Amino acid sequence: MQQTILVTGGAGYIGSHTCVCLLEAGYQVIVVDNFSNSNIIAPERVQQITGKTFTVHPVDICDRKTLAAVFAEHDIDAVIHFAGFKAVGESIEQPLNYYHNNIYGTITLCEVMAEAGVKTMIFSSSATVYGMNDNVPFKESAPTSATNPYGHTKLFIEQILQDVCIADPEWTVTLLRYFNPVGAHHSGLIGEDPNGVPNNLMPFISQVAVGRLKKLKIFGNDYPTPDGTGVRDYIHVIDLADGHVKALESTGKQKGVAIYNLGTGHGISVLDVVTTFEKINGIPIPYKIVPRRPGDIASSFADPKKAKNILQWIAKKTLEDMVRDAWNWQQKNPNGYA
Ligand code: NAD
Ligand code: UD1
């Protein structure tokens, strides 16, 4: 029978791409989003890409009553929970806002799910939980820590969801720790549309390429990495989205909590990203080297073997695919969804 998946934050960057993969895999999708960091156009474009329709509820997950009404209206089998705030710098300025939205929002969602008898959740965690540890590649068993309120919300939510599973064995929770999602659907219809000046590398580069920003600032070239710039595990957002479908398929065989890294396992430097973007897209990216960004680590990349062995998932797309698709989206939507 066709399963119905509630996607919180389904209008956002990763959520919209995951909706495409879910619909293409034959799932029915219901989106809940308060559009605090997204645009209603994104789910419309998802319907355009897939030729399938679905309901979008403009609901805040902190609003228990309206959220419960969504569960009463639909026969939901599982929840993929993306809704939350994600900007590290902003979380330092507005900790209470982040703790409220991310943690209170998740607790409210869990309570409403339990009342409705829906006890399967896939949660968007982050490689940020590996903290300042530089012992790459990171295995899921590596020690966790956080250095900012955003990271703390991910750690706390991981803990809360583990405790929920201990208290009630009917729950099945999958914690997916994403590395660095980049790129866009190959159609160029959906992609990443950050508010204001992007904090993350790939949208910054794309906005330099399209002329919205003048120059990329590379945060440090004195790290103990092959070319001195920071090394990360960039993963195409479609591979990441596909990881959610694989995780969902696996929940039937799972008891309690499972944790998976979603990354490629390859460390790529800032300069690798810049030169690949220039080569594939034929656009020069002017840059200057500036001091390190506080809180950055030299290297972060996944050991993705657990997801490969248990979920039968691997990231298939290359860095070339990521920069091509990021540019295709940016070129077709120079001002994002606006
Ligand atoms: P995004 O901001 O594009 O998507 C989040 C969505 O949630 C947005 O559409 C926003 O409007 C919605 N939302 C926020 N608070 C809400 C609330 N209270 N009620 C209803 N909707 C709400 O972010 P994204 O990049 O798609 O990230 C999705 C999830 O993955 C987040 O939890 C984020 O922390 C996590 N994550 C993202 C990255 C990344 O690099 N993008 C890395 C690791 C983990
Ligand atoms: C950042 C967050 C992390 C969050 C992730 C996804 C910090 C310290 N970490 O990770 O918690 O989970 O985004 O939202 O903010 N870089 C530049 N110039 C730029 C932007 C980035 O040189 O303008 C470099 C960074 O120093 C880093 C690499 O590019 O080496 C990737 O940066 P970014 O895309 O911000 O991701 P993370 O720092 O890995």
Closest ligand relative to 263 C-alpha: 1
221-264 tens-digit pLDDT: 999 999 999 999 999 999 999 999 999 999 999 989 999 999 99
Q: Which is the closest atom of ligand 1 to the Cα of 38?
A: 9
Give the per-residue pLDDT at 236.
98
173-232 tens-digit pLDDT: 999 999 999 999 999 999 999 999 999 999 999 999 999 999 999 999 999 999 999 999
Q: Do the Cβ atoms of 221 and 261 come closer than 8 Å?
A: no
Give the per-residue pLDDT at 255.
87
> What is the bridge-based pairing of β-strands 216-219 and 4-8?
unpaired
Q: Do the Cβ atoms of 8 and 34 come closer than 8 Å?
A: no
To which residue do tokens 């009463």 refer? 72
The amino acid present at 314, given as its one-letter code, is I
Asked whether 181 lines ligand 1 (CB < 6 A), one says yes
Q: Is residue 219 part of a domain?
A: no
* pTM assigned to the model: 0.98
Q: Is residue 305 part of a domain?
A: yes
Give the per-residue pLDDT at 1.
75
What's the residue count for the chain? 338
Give the per-residue pLDDT at 220.
98
Q: How far apart are CA 60 and CA 203, in angstroms?
A: 26
Q: How far apart are CA 121 and CA 172, in angstroms?
A: 6
Among protein residues, the one whose CA lies closest to atom 4 of ligand 1: 12
Q: Is residue 329 part of a domain?
A: no
Tell me which of 37, 88, 215 to substitute to probe ligand 2's pocket, judged by most ligand atoms within 8 Å of the beta carbon. 88
Helices 237-250 and 13-24 pack at an angle, to 10 degrees, of: 60
The pLDDT profile of the chain, 338 residues, written as one tens digit per residue, is 799 999 999 999 999 999 999 999 999 999 999 999 999 999 999 999 999 999 999 999 999 999 999 999 999 999 999 999 999 999 999 999 999 999 999 999 999 999 999 999 999 999 999 999 889 999 999 999 999 999 999 999 999 999 999 999 999 999 999 999 999 999 999 999 999 999 999 999 999 999 999 999 999 999 999 999 999 999 999 999 999 999 999 999 998 999 999 999 999 999 999 999 999 999 999 999 999 999 999 999 999 999 999 999 999 999 999 999 999 999 999 999 98
Closest ligand relative to 88 C-alpha: 2
Q: Residue 316 Cα, ligand 2 centroid: separation in angstroms?
A: 22
Q: Is residue 228 part of a domain?
A: no
Whether cis (ω within 30° of 0) applies to the bond prior to 143 is: no
Number of domains composing the chain: 1
Q: Which is the closest atom of ligand 1 to the Cα of 11?
A: 9
**Which residues are near ligand 2 (CB < 6 Å)?**
86, 88, 126, 128, 180, 199-201, 204, 216-219, 230, 232, 270, 293, 295-296, 300
Q: Is residue 12 part of a domain?
A: yes
Counting DSSP H helices and E strands in the chain, the numbers are 12, 13
Question: At 44, which CATH number?
Answer: 3.40.50.720
Q: How far apart are CA 133 and CA 152, in angstroms?
A: 15
Name the token pair of 108. 């409210």
Q: Is residue 202 part of a domain?
A: no
Q: Which is the closest atom of ligand 2 to the Cα of 151?
A: 11
Q: Is residue 176 part of a domain?
A: yes
Using a 10 angstrom Cβ sphere, with 0-12 exposed, 13-18 middle and 19 or more buried, the burial of residue 309 is: exposed
Asked whether 11 lines ligand 1 (CB < 6 A), one says yes
DSSP H or E stretch at residue 83: none
Give the per-residue pLDDT at 24.
98
Q: Which is the closest atom of ligand 1 to the Cα of 35?
A: 11
The answer to whether residue 150 is catalytic is yes
What residue numbers bound the domain in which 248 lies?
A: 4-190+234-265+300-316
Asked whether 274 lines ligand 1 (CB < 6 A), one says no
DSSP H or E stretch at residue 160: helix 149-167
The amino acid present at 318, given as its one-letter code, is T
Q: Is residue 238 part of a domain?
A: yes
> What is the bridge-based pairing of β-strands 78-81 and 55-57?
unpaired
